[in-house]
Amino acid sequence: MSTHFKTYHPYVSPFDPCPPILEKAYSTPPNLYMGFQPPNLPQFSPIEALKAGTLWKAFYDPWYGPLEPGKGGLPQ
Amino acid sequence: MWIYEKKLQYPVRVSTCNPKLAKYLIEQYGGADGELSAALRYLNQRYSIPDKVIGLLTDIGTEEFAHLEMIATMVYKLTKDATPEQIKAAGIEDHYVDHDKGLFYHNAAGVPWTASFIQAKGDPIADLYEDIAAEEKARATYQWIINLSDDPDLNDGLRFLREREIVHSQRFREAVEILKDEQGKKKIF
Amino acid sequence: MKQVPAEYYQLMEQLQAVDFVLVELTLYLDTHNDDLEAINQFNHYAKERKHLKKAFESQFGPLQQFGNSYSGYPWNWDDSPWPWQL
């Protein structure tokens, strides 16, 4: 299974004005890896699908913001 | 023709009166990678694309109008009862002096929607790659808005919309596979 | 101040869930036109949405117009609330 994130480490200069973010991440959602969707992939129930935004579990890749109470940081 | 349904695609909720969030959301209303651009891009390209993928462009274009209505609902709820003081504190007084609470098709920086936000090259592969890029850009925009928002209910609706971009991108990628398929060869899964 | 009952939201969400499955299957079938199982599932939910639409409209008025829903008396298509007001 593919990971939904990739990370990299930008160069840190002694003259950078802000405290450096040592590791940066970017999204690599499941559609990048699926190819042509095969038949009979596992599905969510209708109400779960609505909440997830997709009928197929393989595409589920939720994004949470750092300011959301109880969540925060990058999604797992 | 199109038939309107008196129903949102997703039950949109907003938990706090925070008109500042409306300023960010308007990017997805009248911005280059917003829902209006998406709907008009696909529903315009479909006239000059091979028949095999006209249905897909029609259906995704139609779904985009449902997303536009969700964004409008969020903006409407965030600004509906805001006082002039709150408008000022939120930094949306520039919008207010021109439109009051009226929605308008412009981006978060106030640039009005323009047809040059979208493309139609008439070449099926070029147009579908444009559409895939548009979906990935809209996905990223939702990420940045969610990062700025502390409203969990609003973010719930935005997460739904971001997930839709992932599925739409998937379908456009499949459309490319269908159009580049060599005659008689079966698609490989 | 007229407000819709809690049941409005419940029935609406049931309809939204079934309609969402239909949207997803529609886009899938647009690129997979020979998936019989998905077509059977699509037709199953198309039937279910018909029942849900009927149940919702009998209590809360038409969801569509231009003749895609029946009208009550007096004409109730343009009754509030509209979706963004709920």
Distance CA A72, CA B176 (A): 37
Mean pLDDT of B20-40: 97
The residue ranking higher by pLDDT, B116 or B183, is B116
Q: pLDDT digit string (tens) for C4-36?
A: 999 999 999 999 999 999 999 999 999 999 999
Identity of the residue in A36, A37, A55 whose CB atom sits nearest the CB atom of C21: A55
CB contact under 8 A, A46 and C32: no
Task: Find chains touching chain A: ≥3 CB pairs under 8 Å.
Answer: B, C
CA atoms within 13 A on the CB side of B149: 30
Cβ–Cβ contact C24 with B under 8 A: yes
CB contact under 8 A, A53 and B164: yes
Q: Which residues of A touch C18 (CB under 8 A)?
A: 46
Cβ–Cβ contact A45 with B under 8 A: no
- Is residue A12 a part of any domain in this protein? yes
**Is the confidence at residue B186, as pLDDT, over 60?**
no
pLDDT of residue A71: 57
- Is residue A31 a part of any domain in this protein? yes
Q: Label residue B185 by pLDDT band (50, 70, 90).
A: low
Identity of the residue in A37, A39, A47 whose CB atom sits nearest the CB atom of C17: A47
Q: Label residue A2 by pLDDT band (50, 70, 90).
A: confident
What is the pTM assigned to this prediction? Answer: 0.95
Specify whether the CB–CB gap between B169 and B175 falls below 8 A.
no
Distance CA B73, CA B87 (A): 18
pLDDT of residue C64: 98
Domain count, chain A: 1
Which domains are seen in chain B, by residue range? Answer: 19-110+119-179 (1.20.1260.10)
pLDDT of residue A76: 36
CB contact under 8 A, A54 and B169: no
Q: Which residues of C touch A47 (CB under 8 A)?
A: 13-14, 17
- Is residue A65 a part of any domain in this protein? no
pLDDT of residue A75: 41
Taking the domains of chain C in order of start, what are their residue ranges?
Answer: 1-61
Q: How far is B108 from chain A (nearest CA, A)?
A: 19
Cβ–Cβ contact C80 with B under 8 A: no
Is residue B176 helix, strand or coil? helix
Distance CA B98, CA B78 (A): 18
Q: Which residues of C touch B9 (CB under 8 A)?
A: 16, 19-20, 23
Distance CA B177, CA A73 (A): 36
ipTM of this predicted structure: 0.97
Q: Chain C neighbours among B 30-59 (CB < 8 Å)?
A: 53, 55-56, 59
pLDDT of residue A73: 42
pLDDT of residue A68: 82
Peptide bond into C81 cis (omega under 30): yes
Specify whether the CB–CB gap between B32 and B119 falls below 8 A.
no
